A and B are shown apart, each in its own frame.
Chain A
Amino acid sequence: MTETVVDNVLGLYNYWVVIFLMMTGFYIVISRGNLIKKVIGLNIFQTSVFLFYITVGKVSGGTAPIVAEGLEVYSNPLPSVLILTAIVVGVATTSVALSLVVRIREAYETIEEDEIQAQDETR
């Protein structure tokens, strides 16, 4: 009993953090009407995936993948490289999203979703 708890909760704590962050971010995107908060939620959601990839690449006891004497076990560098690309994509997404929010603010004088909808319906 205690062994399964240790294995599933403590042994996999990275994955629990990933799932917690993923759901938190996803929930913020869905539930918040403020566009900036949505962008933040989206960021948290994406960050959880970065963490997931890095976790996947880690080999316990492994070092950085550099050829050196006396080192036998290396972590897999590929997921880290992949996630560097995904981080760049995430930054680009955030900047496009924020610039859209700026322009929405200029056009509607608000960044609350329901107020924007109300303005478009009354016109």
Chain B
Amino acid sequence: MMEAIQAQLPVLQVVIPLLAAPLCIILRRRSLVLPFATGVCWLTFLVSVVLLGDVLEAGVISYALGGWAAPWGIEYRVDALAAFVLLFVSGIAALVLTYAPRSLTDEIPASRHYLFCTLYLLCLTGLLGIAITGDLFNVFVFLEVSALSSYALIALGGRRQALPAAFQYLVMGTIGATFILIGIGLMYQMTGTLNMADMAARLPAVEGMRTALVAFGFLTVGIALKMALFPLHVWLPNAYAYAPSVVSAFIAATATKVSVYILLRFMFSVFGLEFSFEQLGLGSALMPLALAGIFVASTAAIFQRNVKRMLAYSSVAQIGYMVLGISFATATGLTGGIVHLFNHALIKGGLFMAMGCIMLRLHSVDLDDMAGIGRAMPWTMAAWALGGLGLIGVPATAGFISKWYLIEAALEQGSVLVAVLLLLSSLLALVYVWRVVETAFFHEPSERTREAREAPLSMLVPTWVLLGATVFFGIYTAYSAGVAEQAAEAVLGGLR
């Protein structure tokens, strides 16, 4: 019995949240829906834990959907990288939904909670599907499943600015997804297959042709739009700033990370290292964009008054770090990029969750309203400060590990300049993190902040779990950097 279930785990990973989503509409009652959805998320997390264990022990898992053998049928393929992404996406989804009830009651009318849960589970389905599938067209479908539900989730935001923000995200997201669709179509035209491994084997024969180059171009731009790589990031700040707190925490922690995963899959697993980086020089195109993104977005973050918006700009900068790691195209660089995927997901998820606590008590996340809030809500703001240290990259936090690998990768390639720029960029992070810490702890509290109470435990505990994890993974790196190293090797090895 257990073995039969274990063999079906790859498909269960996606099917459980997918089937649970419409069930939320049937259940409908708030007191039933939220515990149900939370339980489903934890179950999904459990599946991903078992999958990661299996992969690390026995190697790549290939699952033929519906019994149709690849390359004709759709293949689900779990390697170390996919399992790693599945693990943190489902884990953060479960934690955020555990944290959600109080914040939701405050920000979204109770009559819409069942719709929120449906959208949330659909979004999770899409993100997990992208990570697990080994089929190119399937990637597009899951991409749209997660994107469409996230547009609606963002539009649930309380202020009216959420609506134009969601619309702008929709327009840019659809353009990005359509670009990816064009790229996939051109690749299908060249090779006659949609299975990633099969395509990786057939591409070398046609790689020199113009159609393959055009496909590569469309895919790169489309994915860059989706992951908000500078200068294609303009949809992101407003979308994250005006979404409900719970949605900001979930999407900021997972959505762009999964897009970075798509980049890794396409550029390394499908096109292959040699074609993407040696022939076309993708690295030298990505690196300046990544560095420019780090500096421009970090500087923009310094000037934001809305703290959620500040965190959003910081997210754009952090995407820059991940892409920088990828652009080295070495084992160390990739490890840095992949481990930063994970670390930043924890840090940014935790920071947005702490902002959700502030939103609950103050009904504002403007810096001006937060003067002295550190005295009224010490636990929330201490958690925020801890996350902030991670963003800067202080030793003994997870952020330090990522930057350590990135700088090591830069030095390996002899680019001292990049290493110096990386260190300088941390100073920018220090400035914007300090602005919030200073306002919260060292300014005189206003009347409004004096009246505020500490956030409820149901929200504080998940926030601390996530931010506490950043310290844990800053000290014990075997499970983060160790797995990331394996994932990097799997990616560099390709599918062939």
Q: Which A residues fall within an 8 A CB radius of B?
A: 26, 29, 35, 38, 42, 45-46, 49, 52-53, 56, 79, 82, 85-86, 89, 92-93, 96-97, 100-101, 103-104, 107-108, 113, 116-117, 120
Chain B residues with CB under 8 A of A56: 185, 188-189
Given contacts A29-B175, A79-B188, A93-B148, contact A104 B167 (CB under 8 A): yes
Extra contacts, 18 of them, besides A45-B175, A49-B185, A100-B166 (Cβ < 8 A), are A29-B175, A35-B167, A38-B171, A49-B178, A52-B182, A89-B141, A92-B144, A92-B148, A93-B170, A96-B152, A97-B171, A97-B174, A100-B155, A103-B163, A104-B167, A107-B160, A107-B163, A108-B163
Least Cβ–Cβ distance between B165 and chain A, in angstroms: 10
**Interface SS of B by simple majority:** helix
13 residue pairs A–B, Cβ–Cβ below 8 Å: A42-B174, A45-B175, A46-B178, A53-B185, A89-B141, A89-B148, A100-B151, A100-B163, A100-B167, A101-B167, A104-B163, A108-B163, A117-B164
CB neighbours (8 Å) of B141 from chain A are 85, 89
Listed in ascending order, the chain B residues whose CB lies under 8 Å from chain A are 137, 140-141, 144, 148, 151-152, 155, 160-161, 163-164, 166-167, 170-171, 174-175, 178, 181-182, 185, 188-189
Check if B151 sits within 8 Å of A49, measured CB to CB.
Answer: no
B181 engages A49 (CB within 8 Å): yes
Is the Cβ of A52 less than 8 Å from the Cβ of B185?
Answer: yes
A61 smallest CB distance to B (angstroms) = 19
Interface pair A86/B181, CB less than 8 Å apart:
yes
Bound CA–CA A45/B171 (angstroms):
11
In the bound complex, how far is the Cα of B167 from the Cα of A120, in angstroms?
Answer: 15
Residues of A within 8 A of B152 (CB): 96
A79 to B248, CA, bound (A): 36
B144 touching A93, Cβ below 8 Å: yes
Among B140, B170, B174, residue most surrounded by chain A Cβ atoms (within 10 Å): B174
Q: Which residues of the other chain, A, contact B175 by a CB distance below 8 angstroms?
A: 26, 29, 42, 45
- Inter-subunit contact A89/B144 (CB<8 Å): yes
Name the residue of chain B whose CB is nearest to the CB of A108: B160
* Chain A min CB distance to B281 (Å): 26
When chains A and B are docked, how far (Å) is the Cα of A24 from the Cα of B209? 27
Query: Shortest beta-carbon distance, B145 to chain A, in Å?
Result: 9
CB distance from A41 to the nearest CB of B (A): 9
CA distance in complex: A109, B167 (Å): 16
Measured in the bound complex, the distance between the Cα atoms of B166 and A109 in whole Å is 17
Q: How far does the alpha carbon of A53 sit from the alpha carbon of B184 in the complex, in Å?
A: 10
A67 to B189, CA, bound (A): 24
4 smallest beta-carbon distances between A and B, as pairs: A107-B160, A89-B144, A104-B163, A100-B167
B171 touches A42 (CB 8 A): yes
Contact A97-B167, Cβ < 8 Å, known A56-B188, A82-B137: yes
User: A104 to chain B: which residues have CB within 8 Å?
Assistant: 163-164, 167
Nearest chain A CB to B268's CB is how many angstroms away?
24
Which residues of chain A are within 8 angstroms of B188 by Cβ–Cβ distance?
Answer: 56, 79
**Cβ contact within 8 Å between B182 and A49:** yes
CA distance A34 to B163 in the complex (A): 15
With a CB–CB cut-off of 8 A, which chain B residues contact A103?
A: 155, 163
Within 8 Å by CB of B178, from A45, A97, A100, A117, lies: A45
Q: Which single member of A52, A96, A120 contacts B148 (CB below 8 Å)?
A: A96
A117, B189: Cα distance in complex, Å: 42
Task: Quote the shortest CB–CB distance from B239 to chain A (angstroms).
Answer: 12
CA distance A86 to B185 in the complex (A): 12
Asked if A97 contacts B170 (CB within 8 A), the reply is: yes
Q: B174 contacts A46, CB within 8 Å?
A: yes
Contact A100–B170 (Cβ < 8 Å): yes
Which of chain A's residues has its CB closest to B166's CB?
A: A100
B122 to chain A, nearest CB (A): 11
Most buried by B among A56, A96, A101, A120: A96
Known: A52-B185, A96-B151. A29 touches B171 (CB 8 A): yes
User: When chains A and B are docked, how far (Å) is the Cα of A89 from the Cα of B170?
Assistant: 13
* B171 neighbours in A (Cβ, 8 Å): 29, 38, 42, 97
**Known contacts A56-B188, A85-B141, A96-B148; is-contact A116 B174 (Cβ 8 Å):** no
Residues of chain A lying within 8 A (CB to CB) of residue B163:
100, 103-104, 107-108
Chain A contacts for B151, CB-based, 8 A: 96, 100
In the assembled complex, the Cα of A45 lies from the Cα of B175 at a distance in Å of 8
**Chain A residues positioned under 8 Å from B144 (CB to CB):** 89, 92-93
Contact A120 B161 (CB under 8 A): yes
Contact residues in A for B189 (Cβ distance below 8 Å): 56
In angstroms, how far is the closest chain A Cβ from the Cβ of B24?
Answer: 18
Q: Which residues of A contact B182 (CB under 8 A)?
A: 49, 52
A49 to chain B, nearest CB (A): 6
A96 touching B161 in the complex, CB below 8 Å, given contacts A45-B175, A56-B188, A89-B144: no
CA distance A89 to B151 in the complex (A): 14
By a CB distance below 8 angstroms, the chain A residues around B140 are 86
